[in-house]
Structure 1
Amino acid sequence: MNADASMSLGVIVERREVENPWQDFAWRPIAVVPNAARGGRWRELQKGDDWVHFLAATFDLELFRGETEGYMTNLSQDPPLIYVVLREGEEAEDNDVEPFHVTACPFEAMGYYESGDEIVEGVPMPDNVMGWLREFVDLYHVETPFEKRKNKRHKDKQAGSRPRGRLGRG
């Protein structure tokens, strides 16, 4: 499916040391950067005593006309979020996680979260992305009124010919 609009977002991931016998680090997305440069390798941005921030990847945030209800839900939250999907690194030399996807639709993010295979976390939506998303929703959102479905009677050609008694005997 082709997106109706897109913007590139760089994903910033934090690696923090943890005291755990089975795990050396905890990984989580902490921010997105609009119009970040694309590159194949992770780039270290900042470093502290027990943490490091990396520009891990750049993705296109794609918007679709049919998902404006989700975007409106996101914009009504305080604060609106960009949802970052992380997956475990597949190769031994890879990092423990790899960014996989970004979305502004909380319903799509919930689908990834419910699968249980990915880490899904929201990061604050930058102001210019928020304005761009609002413009998109204003342009494409169509309010659909709720319509209750009406029950339809089942028309059976052999109405009343149901089996009677045990094994269909009268």
Structure 2
Amino acid sequence: MPLGIVVRRSPGVTRWVRWIWRPVAVLPGAGPATGTELRREGDTIEHHAATVTLTLWAADAEAYLVNLSDRDPSIYVVLRNEGNEAPGVLLATASPYEAQDYDDNGEDVVEKVPMPAGLIAWVRDYAHAHHQDEKFIKRRRDRARVDLHEDGIGDARIRQAADVYRAPRPAQRRQTQ
């Protein structure tokens, strides 16, 4: 589904950061982004920054259900600074697990944007249609006795089998005359 990303540009609070860019809304079924200004309040501007494709995968159905069970189901928007002033929209996802992967790299900015009601219904229908419960299989302990053979214990320079953990003594020097 094409998903328009609305980004808000507001003035920074320090002299080192001139602008703060933050995604604030999504537009399901949006057309191509033209940078259209949607709202302006003083120096703060909201504009349609990009249109990305929201792709749902059957393997991520559990992640979508986790997102939908949250108090505020969200779309996670990933922004990447590409060297210019405004960061680019890399992707939008409904999977919190995928968003966490992008958040862990430390270079991308991941923001939660509230999911509109129609999009919630679309994601919920997809997740319920493709979710498969995995049967829990208890792991059983292997009954093989691995403690019967001691390989690699102690110092190989010690011939005495009584104490394999003692340190070797320095070699005694012979006195020659």
Q: Aligned residue for 2:105?
A: 115
Residues 166 and 103 of structure 1: is their aligned pair in 2 closer, same or farther, counting only changes over 3 Å? same
Q: Deviations over 1:96-147 (max 9, x none)?
A: 2111100000011011111111110111101111111111011110111322
Stretch moving more, 41-50 or 105-114: 41-50
Q: Choose from 20, 30, 36 the match for 1:26.
A: 20
Answering whether residue 88 of structure 2 is matched by residue 98 of structure 1, we say yes
Runs (5+) with no aligned partner, structure 1: 1-6
AA at the equivalent of 1:22: W
Q: Choose from 41, 51, 59 the match for 1:58.
A: 51
Larger relative contact order (Cα-Cα within 8 Å, sequence gap ≥ 6): 1
Q: Deviations over 1:31-84 (max 9, x none)?
A: 000011114x42221111120001010011110111111000000011100000
Q: Aligned residue for 1:166?
A: 155
Specify the structure having the higher radius of gyration (Cα).
2
Answering whether residue 36 of structure 2 is matched by residue 46 of structure 1, we say no
Q: CA RMSD in A?
A: 1.9
Answering whether residue 130 of structure 2 is matched by residue 140 of structure 1, we say yes
Q: Aligned residue for 2:31?
A: 37
Runs of 4+ in 1 over 6 A off after TM superposition: none
Answering whether residue 56 of structure 2 is matched by residue 71 of structure 1, we say no
How many residue pairs get aligned? The number is 158
Q: What fraction of aligned residue pairs are identical, expressed as a percent?
A: 35
Contact 2:10 / 2:21 at 8 angstroms: preserved in 1?
Answer: yes
Residues 113 and 70 of structure 1: is their aligned pair in 2 closer, same or farther, counting only changes over 3 Å? same
Residues 148-159 of structure 1: pairs in structure 2 closer than 5 A: 148-153=138-143
Q: For 1:83 and 1:149, how far apart are their aligned partners in 2?
A: 35
AA at the equivalent of 1:67: D
Q: What TM-score results when the alignment is normalised by the length of structure 2?
A: 0.81
Q: For 1:80 and 1:127, how far apart are their aligned partners in 2?
A: 9
Q: For 1:25 and 1:165, how far apart are their aligned partners in 2?
A: 63
Contact 2:58 / 2:130 at 8 angstroms: preserved in 1?
Answer: yes
* More strand as a share of residues: 1
Contact 2:61 / 2:128 at 8 angstroms: preserved in 1?
Answer: no
Q: What TM-score results when the alignment is normalised by the length of structure 1?
A: 0.85
Task: Report the Cα offset of residue 153 of structure 1.
Answer: 4.6
Q: Aligned residue for 1:14?
A: 8
